[in-house]
Amino acid sequence: MWAAIRFGMAATALSTLLVATIATIATALGLGPFAISAPFVNAVLLDVFFFVVSVSGLTLAAGITERQNAELEREQMVRQQAALETRVRLATIVESSSDAIISQDLDGIVESWNSSAEHMFGFTEAEAIGRSISILIPPELEEEQRVILAKVREGERIAHLETVRVTKSGSRLDVSLTLSPIRNTVGQVVAASKIIRDITERKQAEQALLRMNQKLIEAQENERARIGRELHDDIAQRLALVVVELGRTQVEYSDLAPKLGTDLDMIRTHALEVTKDVQSLSHQLHSAKLDYLGVAAAARAFCKELSDHQKVEIDFKSYDFPNRIPHDKSLCLYRVLQESLQNAVKHSGVRSFEVRLWGDKEDVHLTISDLGVGFERDEAMSGAGLGLTSMQERMKMVDGSFAIDSQPGRGTTIHASIPIDSEAEPARIAG
């Protein structure tokens, strides 16, 4: 009975056989309750015992097994119902999503296509399923698609890839792609799911904001140039005349009034310092060297002026820099250098800085480094100052990249790079 309850039909049969064997051997040896009567009676009683034990045990085991099977069937039905409900919920989510949700095999053949994909691209489910996903890809991005498929085959997930896709009518959409590999029960990648989000409106807003920023920066540069020219051509010249007049007056009256000559000399010295400061400010606002000699010469001159004015050491080196780059890119690098160096002098806590300006086959690079106090980049970007934000916006306007490597107590390095014409000839400029 224990075997029937605990282990089922097979264990019951084995237990019955074991009991029958023991009873038979004991009876043959004259032992047990079936050895006390005549041999015929003992045999009949032994058969009756075998029958009762086997029938009751097997019947109990069969009942228990049947009950267990029924419970297993109920559990399986519950699991199947839950799986069906899950699939229904997932299908509902897929169909109600505003994003296009597509699945494809490893050759790029579409296997599923939701209603948002139909709305976004214009192809119906019947038109899309069974066709290559290349119906959505512009010809110039076919290599990108091959790279994506290769990554998916290797099991790599691709998140938020911003690219371009085309609709059935041929219009282009800016989209964000997220691809995830689909694996079978043994872990092999057999397909891929793709979520496509239309970001055309966001891109248009970004472009509008970029154009607005560009206009603001252009207006700022025009105003800087105007003020710089006025300072250089008017205020600085008039101050220079004042210095000359003070010198002439000092010479004329020094013999008659020695004390007056000394005072005039002091006034002349102060006026000369103001004149130099005005000229320096004029050059910062608008550098004539940048217009006529290029960014390398203008950057070297700025580092020299800042070094003399702030009494700091600036190690400037330029090499392999192109002979000519567009003025907007030169101006961008120059402004990044100005803002970065002035911030470093003001906040780093050190008096020594390093500036490197160079070019390679594809980009021009600018780095400004110090070993000062450093800062937390995120806190600085979210602070009240506009210097870092202004530099980032300038770099966006010329498709450049802007990176800050800084930690408290470990110094700061700012790296700006701008793509240039690959045909521009580099010029070796001694540092």
Q: Of 27-41, 57-71, 205-219, where does mean pLDDT reach its minimum?
A: 27-41
Look up residue 420 and give its DSSP letter. -
Give dist(CA 121, CA 137) in Å, integer: 11
**Domain shared by 311 and 229, yes or no:** no
CATH label of the domain that carries residue 408:
3.30.565.10
Domain boundary among 181, 198, 215: 198
**Domain shared by 118 and 187, yes or no:** yes
Question: Which pTM does this prediction carry?
Answer: 0.54
Would you place residue 428 in the very low, low, confident or very high pLDDT band (cuts 50, 70, 90)?
very low
Would you place residue 246 in the very low, low, confident or very high pLDDT band (cuts 50, 70, 90)?
confident
**Domain shared by 60 and 146, yes or no:** no
**Domain shared by 172 and 233, yes or no:** no
What is the number of other CB atoms lying within 10 angstroms of the CB of residue 380? 17
For the chain, how many structural domains are there in total?
A: 4
Domain boundary among 73, 91, 109: 91
Query: Which of 42-46, 232-236, 246-250, 363-367 is most confident?
Result: 363-367
**Domain shared by 398 and 304, yes or no:** yes
**Domain shared by 341 and 270, yes or no:** no
Both tokens assigned to 416? 């700006």
Q: What proportion of the chain, given as a percentage, has pLDDT over 90?
A: 20
Query: Which of 153-167, 237-251, 285-299 is most confident?
Result: 153-167
Give dist(CA 274, CA 185) in Å, integer: 80
**Domain shared by 244 and 309, yes or no:** no
The whole domain housing 420 covers: 290-431
**Domain shared by 264 and 238, yes or no:** yes
Distances (CA, A) of 369 to 254, 314, 381, 394: 50, 10, 18, 20
Per-residue pLDDT for 221 more than 90? no
pLDDT reported for residue 316: 95
Residue range 128-179, pLDDT digits in tens: 999 999 999 999 998 888 898 899 889 899 998 999 999 999 999 999 999 9
Domain boundary among 147, 164, 198: 198
User: Mean pLDDT over residues 65-77, rounded?
Assistant: 75
Per-residue pLDDT for 47 more than 50? yes
Residue pair 210/396 in contact (Cβ under 8 Å)? The answer is: yes
pLDDT reported for residue 77: 79
Per-residue pLDDT for 61 more than 80? no
**Domain shared by 48 and 148, yes or no:** no
Per-residue pLDDT for 222 more than 70? yes
CATH label of the domain that carries residue 179:
3.30.450.20
**Domain shared by 301 and 363, yes or no:** yes
Q: Of 56-60, 97-101, 123-127, 349-353, where does mean pLDDT reach its minimum?
A: 56-60
The long-range contacts involving 338-341, CB below 8 angstroms and separated by at least 24 positions, are: 338/284, 338/302, 339/387, 339/390, 339/391, 340/368, 340/391, 340/414, 341/302, 341/303, 341/306, 341/314, 341/368
Both tokens assigned to 177? 């792609």
User: Mean pLDDT over residues 377-388, rounded?
Assistant: 65
82-100: burial string, b at 16+ Cβ within 10 Å, e else? eeeeeeeeeeeebeeeebb
Residue range 266-277, pLDDT digits in tens: 888 888 888 877
**Domain shared by 129 and 115, yes or no:** yes
**Domain shared by 298 and 394, yes or no:** yes
pLDDT reported for residue 354: 95
Alpha helices in 141-287 (DSSP H): 142-153, 200-230, 236-253, 258-285
pLDDT reported for residue 431: 40
